Amino acid sequence: MAAQLRYHMVGGYDRLALALLVCTGTEAILSWFDRGKVVNLTSAYISGISLTLLTKPQGGALWPFAIGGFLAISSKYVLRYRGNHLWNPTNFAISALLLLAADRVSVLSHQFGNDLATNLVIWIFGLIIAARVGVLHITLTYVASFLVLNSARALALGMPVLPEIAPITGPMYQLFVFFMITDPRTVVRGRRRQIVVAILIAVMETLIRFASDKGWPLPTAFNVAPAFLALATVGPVAKWLDLRRLATSSPSSAGKVRP
C-alpha cells in the first residue's frame, strides 16, 4: 500500500486483487485435488504480492496477472521432482510471460524510486528477514558476485563501471536478492552448495548481459530481465541435481526430502 501511495508502483489495486484471487484460488483447488485438502495459502498470497510488484504489462492490461498467477501456482504441482517443485513460482511465471509476450509484458524498473531513504529501509528489512530465515549468505554471495563479475565485464568492454553495477540497488534486484533467489523451498541443501549456486546464477546473469552487449541473438526476455532468466535456468538444474544426490545417498528418505 505504501509503494502504491508514494510511487504508484502497483499500478492499480485491481491488479493486486486479481493476482491474489488467482494465486490463492489456484492453490486451493490444486492442493485439494492433489492432496485431498486445502493447504495453507500464505505461499500463494506471497506469490500474488510478488507478481503484482514485479509485473508491468503494457497499458492497463490485467490478463498477465491472471495468467501469471495461474502459471506461478500450477508450476508447483506440475514441474516437480521427488515431491519438490523446482522453480520459484514467481520467477517461473514472470520468465514465462517475458518469453511468450515480451512485447506486452515488462518488469519493475524505476517505479519504486532509487533514493537513499527507500534503499536503506528495503536493505535493512531485507537483511533482517534474510538473517532470520538463515539465507543471508545467499544474498551476500550473489551481491558480491554481481559486483565483481559485472565490474569485470564493464572493464573488459571499456564501459564505465558504476552504471553497470548500479542496478543492484534498484527495486527489481532488491526483491530478487532478498526474496526470490533465497526461496527456502527451491534452494539446494547445505550452505556451501547454496553459495556455489548463487555464484553460478551471478555468472549466468553476467554471461547473458555480455551477450546482450555483443548483440548476440537472444530472446527479448533475456535482455529485459537477465537476473530472472539466470535463476530460471540455473536454479532448477541445481535443485534437480541436489534432489538426485540426496536420493542416491539416502534412498529410504528420498520422498521426504525438504529443502
58-86 pLDDT per residue, tens = 888 899 999 999 999 999 999 999 889 99
The pLDDT value given to residue 18 = 96
CA distances for 93 relative to 47, 140, 214, 252, angstroms: 10, 25, 28, 33
User: 84 near 243, Cβ under 8 Å?
Assistant: yes
Count CA within 13 A, CB hemisphere, residue 49: 12
The pLDDT value given to residue 257 = 47
Q: CA 71, 33, 88, 131 torsion: positive or negative?
A: positive
| pLDDT confidence bin for 259, thresholds 50/70/90 | very low
The pLDDT value given to residue 226 = 93
Cβ contacts of residue 171 below 8 Å, gap of 6+?
9, 108, 109, 110, 111, 112, 113, 114, 122
Instruction: Tell me the C-alpha distance between 126 and 236, whole Å.
Output: 24
Is the pLDDT assigned to residue 254 strictly greater than 80? no
The pLDDT value given to residue 172 = 83
- Its pTM stands at 0.88
- Phi/psi at 81 (nearest 5 deg)? -140, 125
| pLDDT confidence bin for 204, thresholds 50/70/90 | very high
> Where does residue 108 fall: left (phi above 0), alpha (psi -120 to 50 degrees), or beta otherwise?
beta
The pLDDT value given to residue 125 = 85
pLDDT tens per residue, range 10-64: 778 899 999 999 999 999 999 999 999 999 999 999 999 999 989 988 888 899 9
Instruction: Tell me the C-alpha distance between 18 and 99, whole Å.
Output: 22
Q: Which of 47, 42, 40 is nearest to 16 (CA)?
A: 47
Grid cell in block for residue 37: 485438502
Grid cell in block for residue 71: 502459471
Q: Which residue has the higher pLDDT, 162 or 234?
A: 234
Strands (E), 100-258: 105-107
| pLDDT confidence bin for 115, thresholds 50/70/90 | low
Percent of the chain with pLDDT over 90: 59
- Mean pLDDT, all residues of the chain: 88
User: 65 near 52, Cβ under 8 Å?
Assistant: yes
Pairing of strands 80-81, 84-85: antiparallel
Q: How do the domains of the chain map onto residue ranges?
A: 1-112, 113-252
pLDDT, mean of residues 89-111:
88
Grid cell in block for residue 236: 532448477
User: 223 near 210, Cβ under 8 Å?
Assistant: no
Is the pLDDT assigned to residue 110 strictly greater than 70? no
| pLDDT confidence bin for 96, thresholds 50/70/90 | very high
